[in-house]
Amino acid sequence: MTQRPMRARARAHANIALVKYWGKRDREHNLPAEGSLSLTLQALQTTTSVRFDPALDSDRLTLDGTPATGKALSRLSAWLDIVRARAGCSAFADVVSDNDFPTASGLASSASAYAALALAATSAAGLSLTPTELSILARRGSGSAARSIFGGFVRMHRGTREDGSDSYAQPIDAGEADESDETTWPVRMVIAIVGDGGAKKHPSRDAMEHCARTSPLYAGWLASVPGDLQAAADAIAARDIRRLGDISESSALCMHAAAMASRPAIVYFRPTTMSCMETVRALRSRGVLAYYTMDAGPHVKVLTTKEHAREVATALARIDGVSRVIESAPGPKAELIP
């Protein structure tokens, strides 16, 4: 271990699911109950550096400048054990991770965090993994992180094997960019941060397990996913944002309906969330191409086009309770920083 490079830094971008991941088929390997489909975003980025150091007596994590303890640290240590076992190394690690957006607020920080970590930690440990292997490793930290290894539109496979070796993400070829077709494509995402962007009440991992255990709507939600995945992939191939947007809204509402029907209920929406959804519907009735989706938090992410992104951002920024609006183009794959 001492002969190898022991330090590396990587950058990854968050992704927003258009067909959601909500539920696991295996807890230990963190395997999804169904596939999912997402868009990686340029504007939401995490930079992580990892240093394995034999002089350390435990793993250390600094998150946005603050030392982390408790759950976040023990979850990281358990994940680092997978990397250590694979690399045959016993040194503890010093991990420093910085997000340029609010952490743990339903803005997919764990996705970019574990994607950047997978790349930085394996490189620091002297491992050289394929993108598929990185996606599988990132998935062990967070299901959605498997998708942030790749840029643009990404599809996550459920897989059927017990060891999870066929449960990984792959980029979707969205065709050559045709800038002359700006009315329906290229796509953009506009994010309305609702409230102060503070930590969410129900972390997704616990919430999806609680939902699977107690919600009478969970089975119906799961049954909706395969058809939505195929339809979303077809819509991307056809560059049909209307169809893709309709599927995104339905998938998000179906996931949230299942969560809300949990006992006790899991409700991520705030009144401002509903106002944003209403505004998106009103924009659409005026011919603006805009479609909402929400994750394990109150924020509203709107799929739109380059042509309409500014109008969508302006309308969302006017809503009472929206503290910040972020416009984003599709983002790149995770990369090492020299």
Residues that bind ligand PMV (CB under 6 A): 17, 20-22, 36, 108, 110-111, 142-144, 204-205, 295-296
> Of the two residues 105 and 110, which places its CB atom closer to ligand PMV in the complex?
110
d(CA 1, CA 45): 30
Minimum CB distance to ligand PMV smaller for 50 or for 252: 252
Find the shortest distance in angstroms from Cβ 280 to ligand PMV.
19
Half-sphere exposure of 51 (CA within 13 A, CB side): 9
Q: How far is the CB of 47 from ligand PMV (least distance, A)?
A: 19
Residue corresponding to tokens 């979707």: 172
Tokens 């394990």, residue located: 296
Nearer to ligand PMV, 169 or 283 (CB): 169
With respect to ligand PMV, which residue has the nearer C-beta, 52 or 268? 268
Least distance between ligand PMV and beta carbon 196 (Å): 20
Tokens of 61: 């994590």
Q: Which C-beta is closer to ligand PMV: that of 123 or that of 144? A: 144
Closest separation in Å from C-beta 205 to ligand PMV: 5
Shortest distance, CB of residue 297 to ligand PMV, whole angstroms? 8
Nearer to ligand PMV (CB atom), residue 123 or residue 142: 142
The C-alpha atoms of residue 80 and residue 204 are separated, in whole angstroms, by 21
Q: Which residues of 111-135 are buried (b: 16+ CB within 10 A; e: fewer)?
A: bbbbbbbbbbbbbbbbbebebebbb
Distance CA 264, CA 260 (A): 8
Neighbours of 228 (CB within 10 A): 22
Q: Helix 109-124 to helix 70-87 angle, to the nearest 10 degrees?
A: 40
Q: How far is CA 226 from CA 156, 158, 221, in A?
A: 12, 10, 10
Nearer to ligand PMV, 143 or 159 (CB): 143
Query: Could you tell me what percentage of the chain is helix, strand and coil, using 3-state DSSP and rounding each to the nearest 5?
Result: 35, 25, 40
Distance CA 44, CA 25 (A): 29
Q: Please report how close the Cβ of residue 291 comes to ligand PMV at its closest, in angstroms.
A: 16
Question: In the complex, what is the shortest distance from the CB of residue 207 to ligand PMV, in angstroms, rounded to a whole number?
Answer: 8
Residue among 110 and 304 whose Cβ is closer to ligand PMV: 110
Minimum CB–partner distance for residue 320 and ligand PMV (Å): 25
- Give the helix/strand (H/E) hosting 260: helix 241-260
How many Å apart are CA 197 and CA 286, to the nearest integer? Answer: 30
